[in-house]
Amino acid sequence: MADEVLNIIDATRDLPDEKEKAVIHTYALTTHVTMALPLETHSTGMSKWTIEDDLQYNTGNYRKFNNEFESKKTNTKSFAVNVAVSGGKVAADRALVKINPGEVRREQLNTVRSFAHGFTADFFQGADVDGFLSIDGYIDNEDFWNSQQLNCGASADSPAVISPDKIDAMIALHNVTSRTFLYVSGNVYLKIKKDSRGNESGGYNVNYLPREFGTFAGYYDDIPIIIARDGKGTDYFAKSGSGTNSVSAYLVTYGEENMVGIQQGPPDVINLETGVLKTFEYEHMLAPKPYSRKCITRLNFIKDAIA
């Protein structure tokens, strides 16, 4: 039986070590994915689960008097995934620690943040190795999720700018809850924002509030839009096609019966000493796990442009 926690910070709330807690919280607060992803703990590092292909209301909620209940659910499939180790070593020269401890701390924090950015990029489009399946991996390699994609343009060589009709089609494929988010590149966000301003019928279904600056860029039909960028402002999503301007966008719904992360246990911060270096290691055995078909949806062949 898995133990569920809300997110990485909640998993480490009772840690007594202030340094360890500060490192883990820095990692957790770096990206929207590392903040939002709920976790389940499996001590073996292996998760096995069954996805039911029929919605719950098809099981039959009533029975006749003096009759047994009979389930109508007939189509199920089992899946399994192993956690993969994310993180790495953070090192500084011990002499530099004495000369300029403030600068060392800043660089250590930036290194930890880079681990979080790496996990976030792999969460969407990572190579499917060592038991780690990204969202692309589930959609491209598992028949169960293959239907959770549609195309904006004809191909990577012939992408099309995103439109409200295409976003609406994504939403129609998806299980939308209060924990659903739309992840896009910077130019795709700008195209959505441009469309929200520019027609005579009052604009499209995008609304902006004064507090929405930076990561939370706006809403489309009450779904928050997240600009998927790393700490340097570079888009996470790889560009493809002959013009290297075709990107994808993703809808993700987090939650107990939707997208979660499985972990072998909470993150570890391990102090090390290597030669003249003062080092510690951040290590988290973690992998994405979509419980339902419609908690992940991808829109392919979007032109990474405003017009």
| Per-residue confidence (pLDDT) for residue 114, from 0 to 100 | 94
CATH of 3-56+76-134+260-292, one of 3.30.2400.10, 3.40.50.10800, 1.10.10.10, 3.40.50.720: 3.30.2400.10
The mean pLDDT value for 69-81 works out to: 75
In the chain, where are the structural domains located?
Answer: 3-56+76-134+260-292, 147-256+294-303
Q: pLDDT digit string (tens) for 273-305?
A: 777 888 899 999 999 999 999 999 999 999 999
Q: Which helix (H) or strand (E) holds 186?
A: helix 186-197
pTM: 0.88
Tell me the pLDDT band of 60, cut-offs 50, 70 and 90: low
Percent of all residues in the chain with a pLDDT value above 90, rounded to a whole number: 49
Say how far residue 283 (Cα) sits from the centre of its chain: 19
Q: Say which residue the tokens 């950015």 belong to.
A: 117
∠ CA 229-154-121, rounded to 5°: 20
Identify the bridge partners of residue 250 per DSSP, sorted by sequence position: 183, 298
What is the spatial distance between Cα 152 and Cα 248, in angstroms, rounded to a whole number?
9
Cα 228 from Cα 189, distance rounded (Å): 10
Compute the 3-state secondary structure of the chain and give helix, strand, coil in percent, each to the nearest 5: 30, 30, 40
Residue-level pLDDT at 36: 95
